[in-house]
Amino acid sequence: MLRTRPWVPYLYVTPALALLALVFAYPVVRVVDFSTRLIRGASGPYVGSLNYQLVWEDPTFRDALKHSALLLLAVPVLTALAIFFAVLLYEGVRGWRVYRSVLFLPYILAVPIVGIVASYIFQLNGALNSMLRAVHLDGLALDWLGSERLSLLTVGIVIVWREVGFGILLFLARLLTMDGEQLEAARIDGAGWWSQLRYVIIPELKGTIEFYVVVASITMLAWVFAYVYTITAGGPGTSSTVLELYIYNQGLRNSLPGMASAVAVVLLGATLVSITLLMLVRARAQRQELA
């Protein structure tokens, strides 16, 4: 029997690791370095934590941080909707394959296209309000994008509408691999739909739910720029500005790459915390299964 030297497997993965370091690690190091400098051109003098202090003192940053945190409230909504529709599709309602395609279709659309179309739909005299007025529901025809109270909520609705398709497909794929005997036994014992969902389906989906919650959280923190930029551009005022848009404005519009880099480091840290939590939760769950 041939025995491979311990270092040989690492030799095979070295090219991939080098590529990852070039594409990801080096830019991250540069951004961290930029966040501690007063950038003028390609570099600048070292200023320590000054950029972080200036960012924290900026009320626009605090608004953006609050709005990004509020968008995290969409995560439980996404999870609940995705599980609900996935279970309905799993039960094989008539035409479920068509419904599956319809529910997943928004997810394959490009975000800028979704955002631009949504901006026309939710305008004060857009398609939604025109339909509401046509059926004499003028009281519901609100200024969805022009109101500071509603703009972020409108963006959240559009995000949920598009992103829920991925969750549905993910949970449905897990359900289709589940042993149907457990559900059949629960039905024989007289368990209703909600009881089956709570005591059979949800426990089976536990690992998938944990994964989806982390993915959705990362999406809300670090992948909503295109939604906000195309729907509201962060307005009115700063009522729908999020951290990603703040980075864009500081770095490109205001020519303050040091402050933009500082916020980027903060956002990277929040994302890494989410990934670490997922790994810790999964490790704990595996230990409990083995115990």
Could you tell me which residue, 44 or 168, shows the higher pLDDT? 168
pLDDT in tens, 141-162: 999 999 999 999 999 999 999 9
**Distance between CA atoms of residues 24 and 64, nearest Å:** 25
- Flag whether pLDDT at 61 surpasses 80: yes
| Global confidence as pTM | 0.88
Query: How much is the pLDDT for 4?
Result: 65
> How far is residue 88's CA from residue 83's CA, in Å, rounded to a whole number?
9
Whether omega for the bond prior to residue 6 falls within 30 degrees of 0, making it cis, is no
- Please name the amino acid found at residue 89: L
Which two tokens mark 99? 């419904």
pLDDT at 127 over 80: yes
Provide mean pLDDT across the span 232-258: 93
Q: What is the mean pLDDT of residues 37-64?
A: 88
pLDDT (0 to 100) of residue 214: 86
Kindly state the average pLDDT of the residues 44-51: 89
Question: Is CATH 3.40.50.920 correct for 45-290?
Answer: no
Whole-number pLDDT of residue 51: 94
225, 245 in Cβ contact below 8 A?
yes
Domain ranges of the chain: 45-290
Helix and strand totals (H; E) in the chain: 16, 0
